[in-house]
Chain A
Amino acid sequence: KAGVTQTPRYLIKTRGQQVTLSCSPISGHRSVSWYQQTPGQGLQFLFEYFSETQRNKGNFPGRFSGRQFSNSRSEMNVSTLELGDSALYLCASSLVQGGENTEAFFGQGTRLTVV
Chain B
Amino acid sequence: GNSVTQMEGPVTLSEEAFLTINCTYTATGYPSLFWYVQYPGEGLQLLLKATKADDKGSNKGFEATYRKETTSFHLEKGSVQVSDSAVYFCALSDRSSGNTGKLIFGQGTTLQVKP
A residues neighboring B (CB under 8 Å): 4, 6, 31, 33, 35, 42-43, 45, 48, 50, 55-56, 58, 90, 92, 94, 96, 99-101, 103-109
Chain A residue at minimal CB-CB distance from B104: A45
Give the CA-CA distance A80 to B106 in the complex, in Å. 29
Interface flag for B22 (CB, 8 Å) = no
Choose from B43, B102, B106 the contact partner of A33 (Cβ within 8 Å): B102
Residues of B contacting A103 in the complex (Cβ-Cβ under 8 angstroms) = 34, 46, 49
Cβ–Cβ < 8 Å partners of B104 in chain A: 45
Contact with A along B100-113 (1 / 0, CB 8 A): 11111111100000
A104 adjacent to B103 (CB under 8 Å): yes
What does DSSP make chain A's interface, helix, strand, loop or mixed? strand
Neighbouring A residues of B46 by C-beta, 8 Å: 103-105
Residues of chain A contacted by B36 (CB below 8 angstroms): 106
Q: Does B45 contact A (CB under 8 A)?
A: yes
| Number of B positions contacting A (CB below 8 A) | 22
Given A33-B102, A96-B101, 11 further pairs, Cβ under 8 A: A31-B101, A33-B103, A43-B89, A90-B44, A92-B44, A94-B101, A100-B100, A101-B93, A105-B46, A108-B43, A109-B43
A23 to B72, CA, bound (A): 33
Q: Bound complex: CA of A94 vs CA of B43, how far in Å? A: 15
Q: Could you tell me if B43 and A90 are in contact, using CB atoms closer than 8 angstroms?
A: yes
Question: Across the two chains, which residue of chain B brings its CB closest to A44?
Answer: B105
Give which listed residue, A4, A43, A101, contacts B105 with CB less than 8 A: A43
Q: Which residue of B lies closest to A88 (CB)?
A: B43
A10 to B58, CA, bound (A): 34
Query: Which residues of A lie under 8 Å from residue B103 when comparing CB positions?
Result: 33, 35, 43, 45, 92, 104
Taken together as a complex, chains A and B put the C-alpha atoms of A55 and B97 apart, in Å, by: 12
Contact B102 A58 (CB under 8 A): yes
A-B contact pairs, 21 of them (CB 8 A): A4-B43, A33-B103, A35-B103, A42-B105, A42-B107, A43-B103, A43-B108, A45-B102, A48-B101, A48-B102, A56-B99, A56-B101, A92-B44, A99-B98, A101-B93, A101-B100, A101-B101, A103-B49, A106-B44, A108-B43, A109-B42
